[in-house]
A and B are shown apart, each in its own frame.
Chain A
Amino acid sequence: MTHSGRKPISDAERRLGELLESAPDAILELDNEGRIVLLNRMAEKLFGYTREELLGQAVEVLVPEDLGAAHQRHREKYLSHPVTRPMGSGLKLEARRKDGSRFPVEISLSPVKSSTGSHVTAIIRDITERRQMEDQLRAVQEKYIHELELRSRQAEQANTLKTEFLSNMSHELRSPLHTIIGFAELLAEETEGRLGEKQKRFLTHIQNDSRHLLDIINDLLDLSKIEAGRLELRQEAFDIVPVMEDALSSVRPRAVAKSVELRTDISVSVAVVADRLRFKQILHNLLSNAVKFTPDGGKVRVEAAPHERFAEISVSDTGIGIPQDQHRAVFDKFYQVRSATRGGGGTGLGLAITKGLVEQHGGRIWLKSEPGNGSCFTFTIPLERFDEKSVDRGR
């Protein structure tokens, strides 16, 4: 690719020459000893040399001094296997200006046959701006990642603090409640003197409400433990029937008072791996809700059957039912069915806790219900015969 020679330059060749001359990237041609034999205008501008200064110079004059030796070795290796390729792929390449300053570049190389041997064309692009943008982008990215990590750490800390606070609070609340409940029980025993009917009734109010207060404290503590992932399960294998009987007997007085029929339907013995107390709590919550929302004379039914790796346990009622659009919300904390207020209080935490407890056991809970057609809550708990993993997880 020489401009000298006898052959006249064609129009196309001239235009190609101009194109290279005015290209937005620096273009250099090197001979087989690495000397610059050809360069365009952008090369002068980019490196700060005049054409005359560069012609005949070893290309290493454009390479940062500390990289010069390595560059020379790479150049010799390239000549032994010349192909068109980007230079130093994956590396951050830098070039050196006349004033010694360095700037980032991207270089592509291609071999050229010339009358004086193997030459190399190098197209060099100044990527200072792109590099700056990349750096900025990375800085922004890192800042956000850092901020995210900070936030999630803060959230975690806040959660831990909340649990500790609630656990301390619950301790502080429980101590006076302990004596309120204890002394009320002592009075009710009438060993310290007989009580009139009115006094007995007042005492019953104190006892019921202090028990209720205790339930609320327990619910709050449970929920905070569930949310902080700090609920510990004491897993063991057991038959669900006796536990179910226990849970049923705890709601039976209220069911009897409302003439609500309680029925169980368990055809085969079902053994699960769970925390016995928590399992009972799940059942109790569902049963007491069912009794609460079932009108006088209605029915509450408990069913259990194995299904794949789980025991599927349902509590259904003939109560007022729940509209489809609230089927998810019922498991939210503080959710309460409007007519629940009539049924007398509740923390609105029961189902949120129940769901948390079920999920902690690796199970699921869902609701089927239509207004007027009762509700059916179903949950799953791992069956015993697949217990090994679950037991290990619990320890």
Chain B
Amino acid sequence: MRKVLIADDRAPGRELLRVVLEQSSCVVYEASDGIEALQSARELLPDLIILDLHMPVLDGFGVLEELRLDLRFATTPIIALTASAMQGDRELALSAGFTTYIAKPISLRALRGEIERFFHVK
């Protein structure tokens, strides 16, 4: 079973991802802010991490930076999730070290596509 960690400060957002990921036979762990996400990631060593960019305490960029410094997460796929609509955010996320970028609102089909891609390519 693939372990997936999702970090989003909004509970409905977490549940939506949980349902879709569980349909794809993933075990889902949740975090509601950046610090929690860091702790869980280090404990669980998930196979995939989905980070909302806008979170209280420590945002997605902050979590990513910490994780990428840790050799255990050097190649872990980490997806940026954001509701921001500003152009350039995608470039910003990719250059920061995110594996890919998903804009809210997501299309479930697109999300499933990404999940499939990560777990089959590996």
Which positions in A face B, CB cutoff 8 Å? 167, 170-172, 174-183, 185-186, 189, 191, 214, 217-218, 221, 231-232, 234
Q: A189 to B19, alpha carbons, bound, how many Å?
A: 12
Among residues 48 to 100 in chain B, which have CB atoms less than 8 Å away from a CB atom of chain A? 54, 83-88
State the CA gap A191–B31 with chains docked (Å): 26
B83 x A175 contact (CB < 8 A): yes
Known: A221-B85, A232-B87, A232-B88. A174 touches B12 (CB 8 A): no
Whole-angstrom distance between the Cβ of B14 and the nearest chain A Cβ: 10
CB neighbours (8 Å) of A170 from chain B are 85
Q: Which of B39-47, B103-111, B114-122 contacts its partner?
A: B103-111
**Shortest beta-carbon distance, A144 to chain B, in Å?**
37
Report if B1 contacts A (CB, 8 A): no
Interface residues of B in 1-25 (CB under 8 A from A): 10, 12-13, 16, 19-20, 23
Task: Check B83–A182 contact: CB distance below 8 A.
Answer: no
Please report the C-alpha to C-alpha distance between residue A231 and residue B88 in the assembled complex, in whole angstroms. Answer: 11
Q: A186 vs B111: C-alpha distance in the bound complex, in angstroms?
A: 12
Neighbour of A174 across the interface among B16, B19, B20, B104, CB < 8 A: B104
Q: Is A179 touching B12 in the complex (CB atoms < 8 A)?
A: yes
Give the residues in chain B near A218, CB-CB below 8 Å: 85
- Residues of B near A172 (CB, < 8 A) are 83
Which chain A positions have C-beta within 8 A of B83? 171-172, 174-175, 178
A sample of 20 cross-chain residue pairs with beta-carbon separation below 8 angstroms, ordered by A number, consists of A167-B84, A167-B86, A171-B54, A172-B83, A174-B83, A174-B85, A175-B13, A178-B13, A178-B16, A178-B105, A179-B12, A179-B16, A179-B105, A182-B20, A182-B106, A183-B12, A183-B16, A217-B85, A218-B85, A232-B87
Residues of A within 8 A of B104 (CB): 174-175, 177-178
Hey, which chain B residues are within 8 Å of A183, CB to CB? 12, 16
Q: In the complex, what residues of A have CB within 8 A of residue B86's CB?
A: 167
Please tell me if the beta carbons of B105 and A182 are within 8 angstroms of each other in the complex: yes
Contact status A182-B85, CB under 8 Å: no
- In Å, the complex CA distance between A177 and B84 comes to 12
Interface SS of A by simple majority: helix
CB-based contact B105/A181 at 8 Å: yes
Shortest distance from the beta carbon of A83 to any chain B beta carbon, whole Å:
69
- Chain A residue contacts of B106, Cβ below 8 A: 178, 182
Give every chain B residue within 8 A of A175 (Cβ-Cβ).
10, 13, 83, 104
List A contacts of B10 (CB < 8 A): 175-176, 179
Residue of B nearest to A233 (CB): B87
Q: How far is the CA of A297 from the CA of B23 in the complex (A)?
A: 44
User: Once the chains bind, are B108 and A186 in contact (CB under 8 Å)?
Assistant: yes
Q: Cα distance A133–B18 when bound, in Å? A: 78
Query: Is there an interface contact between A186 and B16, defined as CB atoms closer than 8 Å?
Result: yes
Residues of B within 8 A of A171 (CB): 54, 83-85
B11 to chain A, nearest CB (A): 9
Question: Please, which residue of chain A has its CB at the minimum distance from the CB of B11?
Answer: A179
Q: A186 to B87, Cβ gap below 8 A?
A: no
Q: Assuming the A-B contacts A178-B83, A218-B85, are A191 and B108 also in contact, with contact meaning beta carbons closer than 8 angstroms in the complex?
A: no
Write the chain A residue with the least CB distance to B9: A175
Is A186 within 8 A of B85, CB to CB? no
A186 to B106 Cα, complex, angstroms:
12
Q: Which residue from A177, A182, A214, A217 sits with its C-beta under 8 Å from B108?
A: A182
Chain A residues near B16 (CB, 8 Å)?
Answer: 178-179, 182-183, 186
Q: A175-B13, A178-B13 are contacts. A185–B108 as well, Cβ < 8 Å?
A: yes
Is A179's CB under 8 angstroms from B85's CB? no
Bound-state Cα–Cα, A232 to B90, Å? 13
Closest to B17 in A: A182
**How far is A176 from B10 in the complex, measured between Cα atoms in Å?**
9
Compute how far the CA of A232 lies from the CA of B12 in the bound complex, rounded to whole angstroms.
32
Task: Assess the B87–A234 pair: CB atoms within 8 A.
Answer: yes
User: Which residue on chain A has the smallest CB distance to residue B12?
Assistant: A179
**Who on chain A is nearest to B23 by CB?**
A191
Complex CA distance for A172 and B13, rounded to whole angstroms? 13
Interface centre among B20, B87, B107 (most CB of A within 10 A): B87
- Identify 11 new A-B residue pairs, CB closer than 8 A, beyond the known A186-B16, A232-B88: A171-B83, A172-B83, A174-B84, A175-B10, A182-B20, A182-B108, A185-B107, A185-B108, A189-B108, A191-B23, A221-B85
